[in-house]
Homo-oligomer: A and B are copies of this chain.
Amino acid sequence: MAITRRPEIADPEGATVKKALTDLGYNEVRTVRFDRSIILDLEENDATRARDRAVEMCNRLLVNPVLEEYTVEVET
Q: Which A residues are closer than 8 A to B by beta carbons?
A: 2, 17, 20-21, 24, 26-44, 53, 57, 60-62
Residue in contact with A38 in the complex, picked from B27, B33, B41, B61, CB distance below 8 Å? B33
Q: A61-B17, A61-B20, A62-B17 known; A33 and B39 CB under 8 Å? A: yes
- From the candidates B24, B29, B32, name the one contacting A60 in the complex (CB within 8 A): B24
A30 to B41, CA, bound (A): 5
Is the CB–CB distance between B57 and A30 below 8 Å? no
A29 and B40 in contact, given A21-B61, A61-B20 (Cβ under 8 angstroms):
yes
- Whether A31 contacts B36 in the complex (CB less than 8 A), given A53-B26, A61-B20, comes out as no
Please, which residues of chain B bring their CB within 8 A of the CB of A31?
39-41
